[in-house]
């Protein structure tokens, strides 16, 4: 019985090592997940080479490890340098090297594990918003000096709300306080805060807004680093002051707000002046004004006394007295001259009056003479000018007479 050779397990063709490596490289490097992947692990070794930094990441239990490299130009951009024994979160892409048949992670960024990723996101968002100018002092609005209506955005169950009310009422009684409640912790907090701010702005009565929370852990304050909250504060036309209870780091909400303090109570203290302080300031200003007035009066009196002494020393008062005497003498002389001129004028006037009396035709008539006027009003001076029957008008010392010529004699 003949039997055929068993060659069914031998393939008709086989891949070369390069072909297999290229296939694996294509699978790894073109995979969208592996082209930009976050990996966490502990640095088990690190070697700084002139080409870059070579290190190894491994799981804490040591079951798996991966080789990593950060090229020289990228090293200054790392937020955290890989150090043996430290936990890191790295961002990179998988690369395969055919010559060695090995793959490794090309790292672009490395941050501390735990809160490191959150810190990186905070830093990136802060950098982007800063580039937009949201934190610039030029866009910040001044707080009103004496607001009458104040809005508060915080949790209705938080102690911050009670602290703010108590502080405002004690410092400035009679204020109108608008409360816009919001959730200030958890996933729903950013959207709730944004809506609360928008409610205040749409209402239109508030002159200033307090955004507050009474402190908490870093993760509890994450809503105040949310981009939606930051932009809502930046877009609000009402001045906003933040009073978020933390002492260590500023939130992005603090940076974009028109003013920020560390506690809700401090925000309430800044937003309105204290009436007691205002009264004290008024008293101080009145005292300072009185002191200035008194000083001015004293200075003026000293100046007057100085001038009086200078007058005494310069004998100006004697000179003034002499000038007064000289003016008095000149006045008397002027009066004498005026009286003399007036008397001469009166005498001259009397002479002229007598001449006028002498030359007055009516005075001649009073002495018995008469004036004869013809019909044409001309004066008859010669009998030869008259005619028989002509009517004449005779002007006497008192009255006139109308006559008719009946006879003419030379």
Terminus-to-terminus CA distance in the chain, angstroms?
221
Q: How far apart are CA 218 and CA 214, in angstroms?
A: 13
The number of residues making up the chain comes to 410
Alpha-carbon distance 185 to 190, whole Å?
8
CB atoms within 10 A of CB 278: 13
pLDDT value for 359: 74
DSSP class of residue 174 equals: T
d(CA 375, CA 67): 159
- Within 8 A by CB and 6+ apart from 154, the residues are 160, 161, 164, 181, 182, 184, 210, 211, 212, 213, 264
Residue 56, strand partner residues = 45, 67
Residue 9 confidence (pLDDT): 62
Every domain of the chain and the residues it spans:
17-114, 123-137+146-273, 364-404
Helices and strands of the chain, counted as H and E runs = 11, 13
**Quick one: DSSP state of residue 64?**
-
- Give the domain 17-114 fold: OB fold (Dihydrolipoamide Acetyltransferase, E2P) (2.40.50)
Edge-to-edge strand ranges of the sheet holding 259-261: 176-181, 149-154, 208-213, 240-244, 259-261
Q: Are 149 and 176 in contact (CB under 8 A)?
A: yes
CA distance 345 to 169: 95
Q: Strand ranges (DSSP E) for 12-113?
A: 37-49, 52-58, 65-71, 87-97, 102-112
Q: Are strands 371-373 and 259-261 parallel, antiparallel or unpaired?
A: unpaired
From CA 180, how far away is CA 165, in angstroms rounded?
Answer: 13
For residue 135, what are its two tokens? 């934190």
Residues 6 or more apart from 203 whose CB is under 8 A from it?
A: 151, 178
Q: Which residues of the chain have pLDDT under 50?
A: 1
Share of the chain above pLDDT 70, in %: 91
Q: Which pLDDT does position 105 carry in this prediction? A: 93
Class of residue 287 by CB neighbours under 10 A (exposed 0-12, middle 13-18, buried 19+): exposed
CATH 3.40.50.280 fits 123-137+146-273, yes or no: yes
**Collapsed DSSP state (helix, strand, coil) of residue 210:** strand
Instruction: List, for residues 258-293, the tens digit of each pLDDT value.
Output: 999 988 999 999 998 877 777 787 888 888 898 899
pTM of the model: 0.49
- Determine the pLDDT at residue 115: 59
pLDDT attached to residue 370: 79
| Secondary structure (DSSP) of 242-268 | EEES-SS---HHHHHSSEEESSHHHHH
């Amino acid at each position: 019985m003949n039997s055929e050779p068993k060659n069914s397990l031998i393939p008709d063709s086989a891949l070369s090592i390069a072909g297999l490596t290229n296939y694996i490289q294509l699978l790894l490097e073109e995979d969208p997940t592996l082209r930009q992947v976050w990996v966490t692990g502990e640095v088990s070794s690190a070697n700084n080479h002139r080409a870059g930094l070579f290190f190894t990441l491994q799981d804490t239990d040591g079951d798996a490890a991966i080789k990593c490299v950060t090229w020289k130009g990228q090293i200054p951009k790392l937020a955290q340098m890989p150090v043996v024994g430290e936990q890191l979160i790295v961002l990179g892409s998988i690369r395969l090297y055919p010559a060695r048949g090995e793959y490794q992670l090309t790292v672009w960024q490395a941050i501390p594990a735990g809160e490191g990723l959150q810190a990186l996101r905070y830093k990136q968002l802060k950098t982007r918003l800063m580039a937009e100018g949201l934190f610039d002092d030029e866009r910040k609005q001044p707080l009103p000096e004496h607001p009458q209506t104040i809005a508060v955005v915080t949790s209705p169950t938080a102690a911050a709300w009670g602290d703010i009310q108590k502080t405002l009422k004690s410092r400035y009684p009679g204020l109108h306080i608008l409360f816009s409640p919001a959730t200030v912790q958890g996933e729903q907090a950013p959207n709730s805060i944004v809506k609360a701010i928008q409610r205040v702005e749409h209402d239109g009565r508030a002159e200033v807004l307090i955004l507050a929370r009474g402190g908490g852990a870093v993760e509890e304050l994450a809503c105040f680093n949310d981009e939606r909250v930051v932009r809502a504060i930046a877009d609000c036309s009402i001045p906003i002051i933040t009073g978020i209870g933390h002492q260590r780091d500023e939130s992005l909400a603090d940076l974009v707000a028109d003013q920020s303090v560390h506690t809700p109570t401090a925000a309430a203290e800044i937003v309105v002046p204290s009436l007691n302080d205002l009264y004290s300031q008024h008293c101080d200003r009145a005292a300072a004004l009185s002191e200035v007035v008194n000083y001015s009066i004293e200075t003026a009196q000293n100046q007057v006394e100085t001038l009086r002494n200078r007058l005494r020393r310069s004998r100006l008062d004697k000179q003034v007295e002499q000038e007064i005497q000289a003016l008095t003498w000149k006045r008397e002389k002027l009066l004498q001259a005026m009286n003399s001129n007036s008397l001469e004028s009166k005498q001259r006037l009397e002479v002229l009056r007598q001449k006028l009396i002498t030359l007055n035709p009516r005075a001649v008539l009073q002495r018995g003479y008469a004036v004869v006027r013809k019909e044409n009003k001309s004066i008859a001076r010669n009998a030869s000018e008259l005619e028989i029957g002509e009517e004449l008008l005779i002007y006497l010392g008192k009255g006139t007479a109308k006559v008719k010529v009946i006879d003419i004699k030379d």
